[in-house]
A and B are shown apart, each in its own frame.
Chain A
Amino acid sequence: MVLVFAEAIKGQFKKAAFEAVTYGAQTAQLLGSQCVALTLGDVQNAGQLGVYGANKVLNINGAAFENFDSQVFASAIAQATEKLGATVVVLSHTSTGKSLLGRLAARLNAGSVAGAKSLPDVSGGGFKVTKGVYSGKAIATYEISSPIKLISLAGNEIPLKATGNEVAVETLEVSAPASKVKVLSVKRQEGIVPLPEATTVVSAGRGMKGPENWGIVEDLAKVMGATTACSRPVADADWRPHHEHVGQTGVAIRPNLYIAIGISGAIQHLAGVNQSKVIVVINKDPEAPFFKAADYGVVGDLFEVVPKLTAAMEKFKAA
């Protein structure tokens, strides 16, 4: 049986949870087995996970799950795994899932693949999964040999499939350990899709000359419903907040569309964005290395090109 931990933020599922369930259901099909989705704490409308292929949805409720503590959550998921006899456990490769995967591996004595990008190859009774390595510069196939297999699924890799129907939610009881972690506050920017989840990203670099010029980048992002990002020197100079820094030493992203404005395309920058499906580069230097990694390029002055692109996007959106 395949167990999927469907994570929720403030009781609501994000796309990552639906992707994990879709992945779990397809894996269960490959194995000729069932997919069970597990939710922890107060979750609204957990039955909708059935739509993405969960045969069954379980909920473990309790005050212990109000805030995230990897020790408490991992204990609950491990107990569920053992009670149900699950042989594959799927998580999302998010800040939450990443904190849980290693704990579950140690606890269940199970091999794990962090950031999987494909369904398992189960031919010949094996279990092989691919994942990005060397910061997106290569892809590795991992073989898991333990009886229990653990996977955290990279975002934006598995197309959502709404194949089933809502199912009833059943409750499960486990014993939760006492938490040694107290959450004092959680601050999230409201109204913005966080970078790791964004499907469209508009990013700008040192070619912008200074923070006062970012209006044109924000205008383009707004028209496209995109999230903004930046190169490292831009964040280091405090032109933009640190959470916008993408690259090898910043956030690694994999949107459908990445638009790079006034960014040279240094190898460390590419390492964090090269898994984007489509890359557009706007740069006045035709020799900028980024063009080699791009699908579409515009050689020109960004201060002229970007407002024109925004206008063209507006026209397209209005049509």
Chain B
Amino acid sequence: MKLLVCISKTPDTTSKISFTPDGSKFNDAGIAFIMNPYDEWYALVRACELVEKNVGTVTLINVGGADNDQIIRKGLAIGATDAVRVDAEPKSALFIAKQIAEHAKSQNYDLIFCGKESIDYNGSEVGAMVAEFLDLPFVSYASKLEVNGGTSTVERDIEGGVETLEVSGPFVVSAAKGLAEQRIPNMMGIMKAKSKPFTVVAPVAFPDLAVPVSYTLPKEKTGVKLVSPDNMEELVRLLHEEAKVI
């Protein structure tokens, strides 16, 4: 079994988000970066479980600069076999997907994993783009995945329910909660990661067709209005007359 896992680097979930004074760029001063949780906890761990149960390899791919090596090493420590970094600034989803597809097109992967979304741009786009570039099926929001020979069974989260699918042949899957349990890399994994194959490749030329040009922070709440716990009629009145939400 030959698996590919797409990983991205995002600010830690506790990060306080701010931008440069002109609002044009993310301010990364004091920000700790992590592997996107959906990529790490669910996509990567499920891929590792599958090759542990069967036989095979898990390749990591990331599009980014050398400061991403730290999250790639962590992925190798968790259990990936080898890694590829496409050395380019990841400015738009389609550019990133193009780079991943370029790598994957000659590799005959059985499955390509990504997280259901990244917690920075929240686009949920890259997986579907890679699938289209490679002309493969795409199954999003997988919360369960079993592979039997050339056929896979997937449960995917849909609005208010679950859909169960059977997919024949290779496909791209995006991972949601439930697909696997988070793994903390152990000392042996961390040691082994140092000698695992890790290649850096140059990007193929591709334009950025949609990019963020400015950022703002949402309007701050003007302050909470406290209502006495003994006067819930007042809360109901406020929700009806002032907030107009009931």
Question: What are the interface flags for B11-23 relative to A under an 8 Å C-beta threshold, 1 for contact and 0 otherwise?
Answer: 1011101010000
Assess the A271–B232 pair: CB atoms within 8 A: no
Stretch binding the partner chain, chosen from B74-82, B105-113, B115-123: B115-123
Q: In the complex the two chains form, what is the Cα distance from A74 to B218 in whole Å?
A: 33
Assess the B245–A278 pair: CB atoms within 8 A: yes
Determine the chain A residues whose CB is within 8 A of the CB of B153 once the complex forms: 184
A267 part of interface (Cβ distance < 8 Å): yes
Assess the A71–B227 pair: CB atoms within 8 A: no
Determine the chain B residues whose CB is within 8 A of the CB of A141 once the complex forms: 212-216
Assess the A70–B138 pair: CB atoms within 8 A: yes
Stretch binding the partner chain, chosen from A55-63, A188-196, A208-216: A188-196
What is the CB-to-nearest-CB distance from A294 to chain B, in angstroms, rounded to a whole number? 4
Q: In the complex the two chains form, what is the Cα distance from A137 to B14 in whole Å?
A: 11
Assess the A296–B132 pair: CB atoms within 8 A: no
A98-B128, A281-B224, A296-B225 given; A140·B140 CB < 8 A:
no
Q: How large is the interface on B (under 10, 10 to 19, 20 to 34, 35 or more residues)?
A: 35 or more
Q: In the complex the two chains form, what is the Cα distance from A196 to B238 in whole Å?
A: 25
B211 part of interface (Cβ distance < 8 Å): yes
Assess the B160–A142 pair: CB atoms within 8 A: no
Interchain CB contact (< 8 A) of B236 among A180, A187, A250, A313 = A313
By a beta-carbon cutoff of 8 Å, the part of chain A in contact with chain B is 68-71, 74, 94-96, 98-107, 109-115, 128, 131-146, 179-189, 192-197, 200, 224, 242-243, 245, 248-250, 252, 256-257, 267-268, 271, 274-275, 277-281, 291-301, 304-305, 308-309, 311-313, 315-316
Q: In the complex the two chains form, what is the Cα distance from A277 to B129 in whole Å?
A: 32
Determine the chain B residues whose CB is within 8 A of the CB of A94 once the complex forms: 159
Assess the B122–A103 pair: CB atoms within 8 A: no
Determine the chain A residues whose CB is within 8 A of the CB of B132 once the complex forms: 74, 102-107
Interchain CB contact (< 8 A) of B214 among A131, A140, A277 = A140
Interchain CB contact (< 8 A) of B215 among A74, A138, A144 = A138
Q: In the complex the two chains form, what is the Cα distance from A279 to B216 in whole Å?
A: 21
Determine the chain B residues whose CB is within 8 A of the CB of A292 once the complex forms: 221, 224
Determine the chain B residues whose CB is within 8 A of the CB of A110 once the complex forms: 209
Interchain CB contact (< 8 A) of B159 among A194, A250, A275, A309 = A194
Of chain B, the residue at the smallest CB distance from A315 is B233
Question: What are the interface flags for B132-160 relative to A under an 8 Å C-beta threshold, 1 for contact and 0 otherwise?
Answer: 11011111110100000000010011111
Of chain B, the residue at the smallest CB distance from A132 is B122
